[in-house]
Amino acid sequence: MKLISRLRDPRYYQIAVLTVLVCFGVTVLDFGIRWQNAAAILATALTTQFFGTVYARLPRFDPLSPLITSLSLTLLLRTDEVGLAATAAIIAIGSKFLVRFRDKHVFNPANAALVTLMLASDHVWVSSGQWGSAAIGAFTLACLGFLVLTRARRAETTIAFLLIYATLLFGRATWLGDPLAIPMHQLQNGALLIFAFFMISDPKTTPNSANGRVLFAAMVASIAFVIQFIYYEPNGPILALIVSAPAVPLIDMVMRGRHYQWQRPVARTRKRLKGVY
């Protein structure tokens, strides 16, 4: 029973999918993942989580979330310096413990690290175009499988983001008179899918209510579109998420909902627990 209830935790599936993606990226696509960076990110993230657990006096050390953050960073962050990869993990996990508002961390960990380092250093970048079209097909299936298996729990954010972003892209193409092959091609982007399924979907940093999440997704999609197609800057979605993050507490104030717990049965037994980090 315990095992089954544990497996209901969607993070196991996330970890499985992300691991497959990393392996696929390294072996088949060869898109620049350096194993030193991956090792540094993983080790640093787990260590930071451990110290964070002690600092926040959490009842137990939870390796799942830092594992997901590590895998996301491994997939998205490119750098030629191992030190920067490790710094990314510290910023990501550290921000969870330090930047908090009303028992929730404000920024998505991997997102906070990516943006901070991209702005601070020339040696950090995101290679958003490195997924071939064949890979995108398999990837989309894996992501959709994720929705099915988790019974689309809290998947409003992902679905709303993709729908709104796609609508904006198709709308732009229609206004410009461009062939629809162009927005289709823009949507077939590996980094965009990782973002939609594994970053913006994070239930810990999105609003508590379903309506709030849809509103938030719409906000991120619109800002991403403006960054990408009006200011012509790359990495629109990643930048849009960090810009929108401070709006989450405001949305929560207006639209009330229940704070998400990864494993509800466990969380209910511990009154002191202020939410698993």
Partner 1 sequence: MKILISIAAALLTIVVTTSAQAFCGFYVARADTSLFNRASQVVLVRDENRTVITMANDFEGKVADFAVVVPVPTMIEREQINVGDRAVVQHLDAYTSPRLVEYHDPDPCVLYERSERMSSDGAAFPKANAEMKRGARSQGVTIEASYTVGEYDILILSAAESDGLIRWLNDNGYRVPRGAKGVVSSYLKQDMRFFVAKVNVEEQSKLGYQYLRPLQVAYESNKFMLPIRLGTLNARGKQELYVYALTRTGRVETTNYRTVKLPTNTEVPEFVQEEFADFYRAMFDKQTRAENERAVFLEYAWDMAWCDPCAADPLSAKELRQLGVFWIAGNNRNNGSKIAPAAAQNVFVTRLHVRYDREHFPEDLVFQETGDRQNYQGRYVIRHPWKGASSCDVTQYEASVRERQEREAQQLANLTGWDIDEIRAKINFAGGERPVPENEPWWKRIWG
**Interface with partner 1 (CB under 8 A):** 29-32, 78-80, 121-125, 127-134, 175-179, 181-182, 184-186, 189, 231-234
**For residues 54 and 92, is the Cβ–Cβ distance under 8 A?**
no
- DSSP label of 177: T
Angle (nearest 5°) at CA 199 between 192 and 13 = 105
d(CA 2, CA 265): 10
For 125, phi and psi rounded to 5 degrees? -150, 170
d(CA 164, CA 175): 16
**For residues 43 and 145, is the Cβ–Cβ distance under 8 A?**
no
d(CA 196, CA 126): 15
Number of CB atoms found within 10 A of residue 56's CB? 13
Number of CB atoms found within 10 A of residue 256's CB? 10
In the complex, minimum distance from the CB of residue 176 to partner 1, in angstroms, rounded to a whole number:
4
| Closer residue to partner 1, CB minimum distance, 140 or 189 | 189
| Closer residue to partner 1, CB minimum distance, 127 or 261 | 127
In the complex, minimum distance from the CB of residue 75 to partner 1, in angstroms, rounded to a whole number:
15
| Closer residue to partner 1, CB minimum distance, 127 or 222 | 127
| Closer residue to partner 1, CB minimum distance, 25 or 94 | 25
In the complex, minimum distance from the CB of residue 212 to partner 1, in angstroms, rounded to a whole number:
31
In the complex, minimum distance from the CB of residue 132 to partner 1, in angstroms, rounded to a whole number:
5
| Closer residue to partner 1, CB minimum distance, 64 or 227 | 227
The first and second tokens of residue 217, run together, are 């997704």
How remote is the C-alpha of 185 from its chain's centroid? Answer: 22
| Closer residue to partner 1, CB minimum distance, 29 or 163 | 29
In the complex, minimum distance from the CB of residue 169 to partner 1, in angstroms, rounded to a whole number:
11
In the complex, minimum distance from the CB of residue 183 to partner 1, in angstroms, rounded to a whole number:
9
